[in-house]
Amino acid sequence: MTPGSDSRAFPGTALILGLLLIAAVLASLSLGRYPIPLKDLAARLFGIPFDSERMEAVFFNVRAPRIIMACLVGASLAAAGASYQGVFQNPLAAPDILGASSGAATGATLAILLRLPGYLITVFAFCSSLITIALVMFVGDRARGKKIVGLILAGLMISSLHSAANSFMKLVADPNKVLPEIVYWLMGSLAKTRPGDIRFVLVPMILGLVPLFIFRWRINLLTLSEEEAQSMGVNVRGTRALVIVCSTLITAAAVSVSGIIGWAGLVIPHLTRRLVGNNYQDLMPVSVIFGALFLLLIDNVSRNLFATEIPLGILTSLVGAPFFLWLITRKGELW
């Protein structure tokens, strides 16, 4: 049993994180290279337009979409990471374990190489990610031995193929115009988020997150042995496939608009376990809130710390890796 495993910790933890998220959203709406005074922001939230058309444009076309997207991506990656860790019974499972991120990277790199417009880069990344997971599940289902091991190995091998394809495309890309754009996308950023991007990812995120919330109690049973879960009346294969498909859907949607953002889907579920325990009834909603808060704070640092934005993937690694080292060296079981 991990620290904070008492279910009575759930309401208070969820409430505190929820209030912190609301406060972070309000502060984020005000912060930026074109700051919005708090009194003007408060007035706009009550329906009073800004005095400046420029401020109105910044708020609705740049600031608000980016903040919403940061919350959606963070929540999705945290939910996917928590789900994968339960399904694969592996504390090191992350949203990219089956190759969703590497597949998205291949699609985006190809679209950038072909000089396609921004919205098609997102579409290519999303579709390539889904195709990759479909291929991984096809190969894993035909692997000998344990299906979970087969899926993980298939994900590793297909991710390796994507890595080779990405390396080749970077090799042939124009080093002055195309290559920097590819590298920047791979490092992760929300700088180009627009309202249309939210409309694109919202449907797959909802389609993935809602079933994960509804059936999250079944993920608890997937953490048991297959025989024990089946004896309790659970269709292990069907439930595992549902969780993987839903987790993949939200991961593909998140990565297609943000690029590669590591650690959020690995560290946040582990920290949440320290707060509310291993019960997915509590773990899933708190992970979603915590993930949204985490990535929003990281994005604020990214866009406000220096004159040039720092890619999100760099910041999440700088924060996530040391924190995970601290987490595994503390007293108590990690898993």
DSSP string, 121-165: HHHHHHHHHHHHHHHHHHHHHTSSS-HHHHHHHHHHHHHHHHHHH
What is the predicted pLDDT for the residue at 296? 97
Q: Which residue has the tokens 């915590």?
A: 290
Count of positions (residues) in the chain: 335
| Alpha-carbon span 309 to 32, nearest angstrom | 11
> What are the two backbone dihedrals, phi and then psi, of residue 86, each rounded to the nearest 5 degrees?
-75, -45
What is the predicted pLDDT for the residue at 45? 84
Spell out a b/e string for 191-208, using b for 16 or more CB atoms within 10 Å of the CB, else e: eebbeebbebbeebbeeb
What is the predicted pLDDT for the residue at 1? 37
Task: Give the domains, in start order, of the chain with CATH numbers.
Answer: 9-329 (1.10.3470.10)
Q: Are 112 and 121 in contact, with CB atoms under 8 Å apart?
A: yes
What is the predicted pLDDT for the residue at 186? 94
* CA torsion angle 155 77 242 138 (round to 10): -20
pLDDT < 70 stretches in the chain: 1-8, 225, 331-335
Q: Which H or E element spans position 293?
A: helix 280-304
**Model pTM?**
0.92
Contacts of 153 (CB under 8 A, 6+ apart): 140, 143
What is the predicted pLDDT for the residue at 2? 40
Q: Are 25 and 296 in contact, with CB atoms under 8 Å apart?
A: yes
| Alpha-carbon span 59 to 62, nearest angstrom | 6
What is the predicted pLDDT for the residue at 261? 92
| Alpha-carbon span 264 to 323, nearest angstrom | 11
What is the predicted pLDDT for the residue at 335? 61
Q: Which residue has the tokens 């439930």?
A: 239
> DSSP strand E in 144-194: where?
none
The Cβ of residue 41 has, within 10 Å, a number of other Cβ atoms equal to: 18
Written as six digits, the tokens of 184 are 């920047």
